[in-house]
């Protein structure tokens, strides 16, 4: 595959055409959000290097991802939920944390052992979360077992992670890598960094005994179903081979508002991935040297990963079971006539802009 010249990219930070289109699409959003309320909070279970743990997931409402404000990723609509003005102060962020702790106390018998904190951007970017807030959050959760924070690789620095590791917290950084293939990340996702930057982030985390959780994206725009599946199989293995990357989470694309993917979807040029494709990747990479999981958001809906509608819930249950047990035999327990349609799509779909099925 040919490599485009550097001039194709906007200051080596993504394609100018993509960014211009994304800025125009995002400008249609006129909603506003309360800087004292988190975007979302929920309780769940997650597979960790220390086994399955109850988790508290927090999505802080910040000023949003700085890359998204330049244009950003083709599939990501999270910046549309960010507070106007580009920043949220320390006091408001800690008020959001208090709301999340209240939610936990009201809905859980015991405090969660695992805390996961996202910002719809980069938690380690001090434009989004000031150093003062990062330290206060580390202190707030110092009595828990493990914490996961999300960040682009640029901001993964060992000094920042010591706010958690020095307090005895097992610490992981979730990096939105999306794919191990640089060309796909640049041209399909419109993300500016290279796989080498991910490897550097892993080394920074290892320096303070922190770990890395790689987030991959199944079926960004401009790939056929077959190309997307092949890219994920190779990406999972490349991530698992990087020292310090102990978990790979494959996120199937869902159609979010105010994104390029939504524009393509409405024009009939994009279909979210099949749930069968998720199963195929998980089954094929079950022997990789990492925990490999997937959490299909919006499964069974037209805008989320789906099959025929009849088997979606059963297949989703099998995926969740695999996440916790890492046993590929769970996929032998589900079947449907639409598997033949999925196989036909993999064999015959030739154009990303003309999906064979809805």
The pair of three-digit structure tokens given for residue 249, joined into one six-digit string:
């989470």
Instruction: Find out whether 296 and 287 touch, Cβ atoms under 8 Å.
Output: no
Instruction: Find out whether 22 and 80 touch, Cβ atoms under 8 Å.
Output: no
User: Does pLDDT of 179 surpass 60?
Assistant: yes
Q: Residue 172 forms beta bridges with which residues?
A: 148, 211
pLDDT value at residue 1: 34
Burial of 273 (0-12, 13-18, 19+ CB in 10 A): buried
Domain boundaries of the chain, sorted by first residue: 14-348
Dihedral angle at the C-alpha atoms of 137, 143, 148, 153, nearest 10 degrees? Answer: 60
d(CA 9, CA 178) in angstroms, rounded, equals: 18
Question: Could you tell me which residues come within 8 angstroms of residue 266 by beta carbon, excluding any fewer than 6 positions away?
Answer: none
Query: Between 2 and 205, whose confidence is greater?
Result: 205
pLDDT value at residue 80: 63
Q: What is the mean pLDDT of residues 326-335?
A: 96
CA angle 59, 126, 142 (to 5 degrees): 60
Closest C-alpha to 133, from 43, 62, 56, 205: 62
Q: What is the mean pLDDT of residues 230-251?
A: 97
Give the tens place of pLDDT for each residue, 75-131: 988 766 666 666 799 999 999 999 999 999 999 999 999 999 999 789 999 999 999
Give the tens place of pLDDT for each residue, 183-227: 999 999 999 899 999 999 999 999 999 999 999 999 999 999 999
- State the DSSP H helix or E strand holding residue 187, giving kind and residue range, or none if neither: none
Superfamily of domain 14-348: Aldolase class I (3.20.20.70)
User: Does pLDDT of 42 surpass 50?
Assistant: yes
User: Does pLDDT of 19 surpass 90?
Assistant: no
Give the tens place of pLDDT for each residue, 123-165: 999 999 999 999 999 999 999 999 999 999 999 999 999 999 9
pLDDT value at residue 24: 75
**Average per-residue pLDDT for the chain:** 91
pLDDT value at residue 81: 65
Instruction: Find out whether 58 and 118 touch, Cβ atoms under 8 Å.
Output: yes
User: Does pLDDT of 5 surpass 50?
Assistant: no
Give the tens place of pLDDT for each residue, 272-300: 999 999 999 999 999 999 999 999 989 99
Q: Are strands 40-48 and 211-218 parallel, antiparallel or unpaired?
A: unpaired
Threshold 0.85, pTM exceeds: yes
pLDDT value at residue 32: 66
3-class secondary structure, 146: strand
């Amino acid at each position: 595959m040919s490599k485009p010249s550097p001039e194709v990219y906007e200051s080596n930070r993504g394609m100018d055409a993509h960014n211009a289109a994304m800025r125009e699409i995002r400008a249609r959003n006129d909603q506003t959000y309360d800087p004292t309320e988190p975007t979302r909070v929920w309780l769940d279970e997650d597979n960790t290097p220390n086994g399955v743990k109850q988790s508290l997931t927090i999505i802080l409402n910040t000023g949003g991802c700085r890359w998204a404000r330049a244009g950003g990723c083709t599939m990501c609509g999270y910046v549309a939920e960010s507070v106007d003005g580009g920043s949220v102060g320390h006091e408001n962020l800690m008020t959001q944390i208090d709301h999340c702790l209240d939610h936990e106390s009201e809905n859980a018998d015991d405090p969660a052992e695992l805390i996961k904190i996202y910002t719809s951007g980069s938690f380690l970017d001090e434009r989004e979360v000031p150093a003062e807030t990062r330290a206060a959050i580390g202190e707030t959760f110092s009595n828990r077992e493990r914490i996961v924070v999300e960040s682009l690789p640029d901001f993964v620095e060992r000094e920042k992670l010591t706010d958690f590791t020095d307090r005895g917290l097992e610490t992981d950084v979730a990096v939105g890598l999306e794919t191990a293939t640089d060309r796909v990340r640049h041209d399909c996702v419109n993300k500016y960094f290279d796989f080498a930057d991910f490897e550097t982030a892993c080394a920074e985390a290892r320096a303070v005994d922190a770990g890395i959780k790689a987030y991959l994206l199944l079926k960004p725009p401009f790939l056929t179903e077959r190309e997307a599946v092949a890219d994920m199989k190779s990406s999972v293995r490349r991530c698992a081979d990087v020292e310090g990357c102990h978990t790979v989470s494959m996120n199937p694309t869902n159609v979010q508002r105010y994104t390029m993917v939504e524009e393509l979807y409405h024009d009939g040029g994009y279909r979210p991935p099949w749930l069968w494709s998720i199963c195929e990747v998980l089954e094929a990479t079950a022997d990789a040297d990492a925990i490999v999981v997937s959490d299909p958001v919006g499964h069974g809906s037209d805008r989320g990963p789906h099959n025929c509608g009849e088997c979606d819930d059963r297949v989703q249950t099998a995926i969740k079971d695999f996440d916790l047990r890492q046993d590929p035999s769970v996929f032998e327990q589900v079947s449907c006539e639409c598997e033949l349609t999925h196989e036909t799509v993999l064999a015959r779909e030739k154009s990303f802009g003309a999906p064979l099925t809805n």
